[in-house]
Amino acid sequence: MANHDASDTRSPLTAPPLRNPGQSLDEEIHRIIDEDASGYMMVAALLLAITVMEWFRWWLNLPLLGLCGVVVRYPIAPRSRPSASG
Q: Which amino acid is at 45?
A: A
DSSP summary character for residue 15: S
Task: Check if the beta carbon of residue 57 is closer than 8 Å to that of residue 65.
Answer: yes
Q: What is the value of pTM for the model shown?
A: 0.47
Walk along the chain (86 residues) and give the pLDDT tens digit of each residue: 555 555 667 777 888 888 899 999 999 999 998 888 888 999 999 999 989 888 888 888 777 655 555 555 555 555 565 566 65
